[in-house]
Structure 1
Amino acid sequence: MSTESSPESGGKSLFSLQRRERLMEELRAHGAITVRDIAAKLGVSELTIRRDVNMLADEGLVSRVHGGATLPSPLDRSTAGRTTSHSYSIGMVVPSLDYYWPQVISGARGEAEVQNLRIVVRGSAYDAADNRRQVQALLDTQNIDGLIVAPDMGGEHGKELLRWLNALPIPVILAERRAPLEIPAHKLEWVATDHAFGAGMAVRHLWQEGHRMIGCLTDSTSPTSPHVVRGWTQAMNALKIPLEKSIHEDSAKLDNGDRAKHFDRVLELCRASGTTAMLVHSDTQAVAFVQHCVDRGVDVPGSMAIVGYDDEVAYLAEPAISAVRPPKSYVGKVAVQLMAARLAEGRMRPVHRVDLNPELIVRESSVGAPRVVMEEAL
């Protein structure tokens, strides 16, 4: 028996049709409905009503508005020229459209096509206030059913943003972010790279290459750097490398002149401590550090081995830089998979929080050269 002629499937289809007819009756009577009120009146989930509203809107029978629907308006052009009907619309807010995040967006869009979801992307900044503005714009104009966001979580503004996201009436998935323990964000789900694991891989790689003093150069303004530092610290402790004698420097907010002086100071500290390897986040910073070493006559990797983090441009350096590569495309892909499952299963589905491991891409900057004490090199 085919699905179309099955009595069971026919009953479900009739029920769905009757429910949408009730929606239209409410709209004709009142001119507008809210998802929350009509779900309570019909005794079904808000997600079910959103799906019904989306179907009716795709057929041109209603106009979607934030939180509900109205009778069609001649000013509504949201379905004009549409050739594909999507089951849900997902908003996505990321802090950059030109570094790291394009691959995350690409992964999300690819999976959205598989899941028959619509992705609406907005670029933001590393700023909690702007993150909230961009999310609010999606809520106000796009009638989204779920949200994937990479918010700035620093300071009180970041904490308040997380509380607000947690209280939204739609599912929220954090991308490359984890809510801190002090924020009771019990509804928020996330998918994030285990950057601490990646940093540990880099340290162990350098240890296996014969380095016994391994420093860390990071940017404290980046949300990734604290995890990199934590992984570096854990690996150093596991390898019994004394942290009190190791180099950990912050390269945040340095212009070209200050950066050169800063890198000179880092090299001086390396020379004094016998440090022969550095883990550098991000890899744009690693490229600049390699170039500075070359300018100062410090051979890479002979006198200084370097591993970058992010693997966006590390391969462009001379020599090419070994780098930890987060699975950026998969962060987007898994975020959409989590969202699709949440929308399909509703509140009965347990909250999911997923860590993905990065990989280490080994290139010339960290292997294949005899170790030379930096005093001799200089």
Structure 2
Amino acid sequence: MTDQHPALLAAERRAHVLAALERDGAVRVAQLMDELGVAPVTLRRDLAQMEREGLLVRVHGGAVPAANGLDESDPAGARSRTGSIAMLVPSLSFYWPSVVRGAEAEAAQLGMRVVLRGASYELQDERPVLERLVHTEGVRGLVVAPNTDTPHAQDVVQWLAGCGVPSVLVERDAVVLPEGSPVENVTTDHALGAVLAARHLASLGHRRVGLIIARDSPTSRKIAAGWQAACAELGLTPADHFETSLPPRTSPDFSAVVDAALDAALSNSVTALVVHSDPEAMAFVDLALNRGISVPGDLSIIAYDDEVAELFTPALTAVSPPRGAVGRAAVDLVARRLEDPARAVHRVVLNPTLNVRGSTAPPRGA
């Protein structure tokens, strides 16, 4: 025992732990060892005894307050906690701001707050950022949308599984190795979104249709899977539909690729397109109008994301993922995990909707 850590009685250690729980909403074994100057076995014995007395609940790497004595008539209030939930998303522009606002609203209702960080789709390894977030004072859980297309993607998932605080993925699917167990997450059923779009076009009489997706996007891959299923459901042959992908909007050849995709659509007598996401859909509309192709008279267009689709002229029919609900559900899962660390892993899938506006109409002659 050093001079900096004079020996403390068990009662003093317990008081310190309870004060830290009240202040921070969670405690970590490593931090308490430094603060109290005790051996790990002593600290774990203290925490075990306090858990038996109903004063706290042990979790991996630390402990959280017990839920005993809270008002069960108010589920949201019963799960209210102090402290923060850290959130790492790949962008603070399109799509993600609405997810973040939903998370912040749910956290506020639970008496918590969100510590937000924006990463980048180009970031290869999010672990350094996540490590800093976990060690931010008061952070008790993580909501993360990791980049799943890097060599470090599985390393990030494995790190999350062992970081000592509960984590929930948003709009991402992943498993923990070696058993391959799916992790807790909240996702939109983007495949269903593609089906809704295809069915809407079919109901208008379109039989020659196309799908334009963003390259290297986890969302696009799900949209493409739903699109293929919808085309099969509607009895469209491979000659009736086509699919192509676009580079990032910042790519120098973006405009040329959009132009070539529109040429391919027209050469195949396509009368309707589904385009992911809103800015790409707007680019198609602009190019079509510049070439004297009317929308929706000659070509119907559905945007996928509905972030700003309604503001365009013409207002774009769009598939709208429940972005705010995704954020709220993710924070709710973290809060419930804090309340009951032994609960079964939950994977929540939310349905998108289709908002019909001015960019879709029956094909000419239908």
**TM-score interval for Structure 1 and Structure 2 normalised by the shorter chain:** 0.7 to 0.9
Give how far 1:90 is off.
Answer: 1.2
> Deviations for 1:55-93, whole angstroms, at most 9, x for unmatched residues?
xxxxxxxxxxxxxxxxxxxxxxxxxxxxxx943421111
> Deviations for 1:158-188, whole angstroms, at most 9, x for unmatched residues?
1221222222221110011111698755372
TM-score of the superposition, structure 1-length normalised? Answer: 0.77
Moved more, 43-52 or 207-216: 43-52
- Indicate the SS of the match to 2:88: strand
AA matched with 1:358: P
Moved more, 256-265 or 223-232: 256-265
The residue aligned with 1:371 is: 364
Distance 1:200 1:37, change over 3 A: farther
- Indicate the SS of the match to 1:301: coil
- Indicate the SS of the match to 2:348: strand
Q: Aligned partners of 1:248, 1:256: CA distance in 2, in Å?
A: 20
- Indicate the SS of the match to 1:191: strand
Q: Aligned partners of 1:363, 1:121: CA distance in 2, in Å?
A: 34
- Indicate the SS of the match to 2:265: helix
- Indicate the SS of the match to 1:346: coil
Structure 1 vs Structure 2 CA RMSD? 3.1
The residue aligned with 1:13 is: none
Say how many residue pairs are matched: 324
Aligned counterpart in structure 2 of residue 362 of structure 1, from 334, 356, 366: 356
> Deviations for 1:310-350, whole angstroms, at most 9, x for unmatched residues?
11121222211100011000001011111111100112x00
Q: Aligned partners of 2:263, 2:222: CA distance in 1, in Å?
A: 26
The residue aligned with 2:347 is: 353
Q: Aligned partners of 1:269, 1:36: CA distance in 2, in Å?
A: 69
Which consecutive segments of 4 or more residues in structure 1 shift more than 4 A? Answer: 24-30, 32-37, 180-185, 254-257
Aligned counterpart in structure 1 of residue 153 of structure 2, from 150, 154, 158: 158
Distance 1:275 1:126, change over 3 A: same
AA matched with 1:277: A
Q: Aligned partners of 1:343, 1:277: CA distance in 2, in Å?
A: 47
The residue aligned with 2:110 is: 115
The residue aligned with 1:38 is: 43
Q: Which has the higher helix share?
A: 1
Give how far 1:253 is off.
Answer: 3.0
- Indicate the SS of the match to 1:92: strand
Aligned counterpart in structure 1 of residue 64 of structure 2, from 51, 56, 59: 51
Q: Aligned partners of 1:136, 1:28: CA distance in 2, in Å?
A: 19
CA contact (8 A) 1:276 1:303 kept: yes
Q: State percent identity of aligned pairs.
A: 37
- Indicate the SS of the match to 2:345: coil
- Indicate the SS of the match to 1:312: coil
Give how far 1:111 is off.
Answer: 0.8
Q: Aligned partners of 2:330, 2:286: CA distance in 1, in Å?
A: 37
The residue aligned with 1:313 is: 308
Distance 1:47 1:114, change over 3 A: farther
CA contact (8 A) 1:215 1:247 kept: yes
CA contact (8 A) 2:272 2:300 kept: yes
Aligned counterpart in structure 2 of residue 177 of structure 1, from 158, 172, 179: 172
Distance 1:292 1:33, change over 3 A: farther
Question: Is 1:138 aligned with 2:151?
Answer: no
Give how far 1:298 is off.
Answer: 0.8
TM-score of the superposition, structure 2-length normalised? Answer: 0.79
Distance 1:293 1:99, change over 3 A: same
Q: Aligned partners of 1:319, 1:159: CA distance in 2, in Å?
A: 43
In structure 2, runs of 5+ residues without a counterpart are 1-10, 20-28, 52-56, 67-79
AA matched with 1:46: R
